[in-house]
């Protein structure tokens, strides 16, 4: 494949195309995206501070980003070999583990930020 130089607008187009592809074809990305929208709505309903919202947005971005990295790794592995290979399994499992670690971390951050607001809201 010959590499062609692309201008800034073209590269943003490729990036947007990648996001659209993730939304259309990746079930887990859709699930993360639905939760992200619900969490962002909850930020405003519960009156989180700007700093708290910024942290939530960063954590959401991290989860969505690593889900896309995971998908890219899985696709490349499938492109390289359709056969069962221990190395391919290892790459896919480690990649999925990355998503799980980030998702658990984001859940903990979310609890830490949201719990006081939810308790106040319920009083």
pLDDT bucket at 117, cuts 50 / 70 / 90: very high
Burial annotation 88-122 (CB, 10 A radius, 16+ → b, else e): beebeeebeeebeebbeebeebbeebbeebeeeee
pLDDT tens digits for range 60-74: 999 999 999 999 999
pLDDT tens digits for range 22-54: 999 999 999 999 999 999 999 999 999 999 999
| pTM of the predicted structure, to 2 decimals | 0.89
- Domain boundary assignment for the chain: 27-122
Alpha-helix residue ranges (DSSP H) falling in the chain: 8-25, 27-45, 50-80, 86-122
- Report the CATH number of the 27-122 domain: 1.10.287.3610
**The two three-digit tokens of residue 12, written as one number:** 């943003």
Q: Which residues are catalytic?
A: 67
pLDDT at residue 1 in the model: 60
């Amino acid at each position: 494949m010959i590499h062609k130089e692309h201008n800034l607008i073209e590269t943003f187009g490729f990036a947007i195309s990648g996001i659209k592809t993730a939304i259309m074809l990746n079930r887990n990305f859709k699930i993360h995206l639905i939760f992200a929208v619900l969490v962002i709505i909850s930020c405003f309903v519960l009156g989180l501070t700007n700093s708290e919202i910024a942290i939530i947005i960063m954590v959401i971005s991290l989860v969505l980003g690593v889900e896309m990295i995971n998908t890219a790794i899985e696709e490349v592995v499938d492109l390289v070999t359709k056969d069962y290979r221990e190395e391919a399994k290892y790459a896919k499992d480690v990649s999925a583990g990355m998503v799980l670690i980030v998702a658990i971390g984001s859940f903990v951050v979310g609890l830490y930020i949201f719990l006081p607001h939810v308790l106040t809201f319920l009083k």
